[in-house]
Amino acid sequence: MPITANNPDRKSWLHVDKNSDFPIQNLPFGVFLTRDDIITIGTRIGDTAIDLGALHQLGYFNDIPLTDDIFLQDSLNDFIADGRKTWRAVRNRIADIFDNENDSLKNNVKHKEAVLFRLDEIEMQLPLQIGDYTDFYSSIEHATNVGSMFRDPDNALLPNWLHIPVGYHGRSSSIIPSGIPVHRPQGQTLPKKAKNPVFGPSQLVDFELEMAFITTDANDLGEPIPVEEAEEYIFGLVLFNDWSARDIQKWEYVPLGPFLAKNFASSISPWIVTLDALEPYRVSGPKPVKKQLEYLQQKGKKSFDINLEVAIRPKKAKETIVSRSNFKHMYWSMSQQLAHHTINGCPINSGDMMGSGTISGKTQNSFGSMLELTWNGEKPIKMADGSTRKFINDYDTVIMRGFCEKDGIRIGFGEVSTQLLPVFDAKK
């Protein structure tokens, strides 16, 4: 089935601002609470949210095989489990309904009232019941920077890095949507030159600029997913801020890897942009530095050109953009990550989430964490309000944005915006 929703000539009868991330060619999926306190699956064009549950009840999807309640859910898991053919058919249909040439809904005031919402009338929710969450470490620049800082600049990459998309199993219970504040975590850290750890608030709270992809049911226990089929099982992507406490991380991570430094919160943008919508923005990505084992070898354009930026907004001050990066820098692609994840037969389910790992570019202003941007605090960043930052301060808001642009069409992810609050105080 062709992706007719991506037609660049298509215009919507709904208003779309020139620099909107959400023209009719995007049509992401999300879950929101309506002004009537009803939870529904929806999409978005410009600054209008569209209730897909209501559209379905009114018969606008009658020619597509869907269960009656597929959009009347508090998560996208069942819809995602229906598979790529269904996602594509639904996205194509939505594009038709909102096409300038199509009058059926455009001229039906009653139906429009039931289906359309202003953004200030809705509340975005976590779009998924995330069963499992895996985080990779797939940017060669990030891995090189971290290796140079903490080990040896001459042997920054560990011997396995160019052969394996390195990853670890994260925790899904603390994944939250944009807008939910996060408390500074407490924990054990080892002060410089000390022999014994101390307990207290983390002094080095950091963001990690990442993207995450969402999977559908992909395989049975024991069954690997071949690298060239992997994209069939990827529904879409979100922006992902993988909050990290560097001082806790440094003390705890040997030998089993990240634990409490990483699982206190991870924030995602609420609209999932489909892989179908990103198709026009495909690019080659980096060439392998070393020959890869056969199950990881991938032909064709395996990456996507997604501009990314991170801003820090102090309390009562203007934001400062501290990093500009791009998803295309990822050394290991999503397909390679998924092929590797399942090569041992590990089953992947609908609603699983896979983080890319921190996405750093080659230049100093394109690094994806404060750890790298300030080189472990040695080079503080100057902010627009005159203050400086080594890491994230209490009441700072970290904002990540991402968009693709080509031939006059821009589609984006909106933002993931999260304020850091002081340590949790039960008395307050």
Residue with tokens 């699982």: 263
* Encoded amino acid at 107, one letter: N
Counting Cβ atoms within 10 Å, is residue 128 exposed (0-12), middle (13-18) or buried (19+)? buried
How far apart are CB 232 and Mn ion at their closest, in Å?
A: 25
**Token pair in block for residue 313:** 């907004």
Nearer to Mn ion, 208 or 309 (CB): 208
**Token pair in block for residue 60:** 């606008």
Residue 142 is a catalytic residue: yes
How many helices (H) does the chain have, and how many strands (E)? 9, 26
How far apart are CB 210 and Mn ion at their closest, in Å?
A: 6
Contact 237, 275 (CB under 8 A): yes
Nearer to Mn ion, 20 or 369 (CB): 369
Q: Read off φ and ψ for residue 299, nearest 5 degrees.
A: -100, 165
Nearer to Mn ion, 55 or 334 (CB): 334
Nearer to Mn ion, 54 or 175 (CB): 175
How far apart are CB 369 and Mn ion at their closest, in Å?
A: 9
- In degrees, rounded to 5, the angle at the alpha carbon of residue 303 between the alpha carbons of residues 298 and 306 is 175
CA distance 296 to 285: 15
Contact 227, 339 (CB under 8 A): yes
How far apart are CB 358 and Mn ion at their closest, in Å?
A: 6
Q: Report in angstroms the alpha-carbon separations of 418 from 120, 260, 310.
A: 18, 19, 12
How far apart are CB 182 and Mn ion at their closest, in Å?
A: 15
Nearer to Mn ion, 135 or 305 (CB): 135
**Token pair in block for residue 68:** 């009656």
Nearer to Mn ion, 242 or 252 (CB): 242
Name the site residues for Mn ion (rule: CB under 5 A): 135, 208, 242
CA distance 98 to 116: 11
**Token pair in block for residue 270:** 């609420």
How far apart are CB 145 and Mn ion at their closest, in Å?
A: 14
CB count, 10 Å around CB of 134?
20
Please choose, from the candidates 420, 380, 370, 371, the residue with its C-alpha nearest in 3D space to the C-alpha of residue 396. 420
Candidate list 15, 56, 142, 341, residue with the active-site label: 142
Q: Catalytic positions, please? A: 142
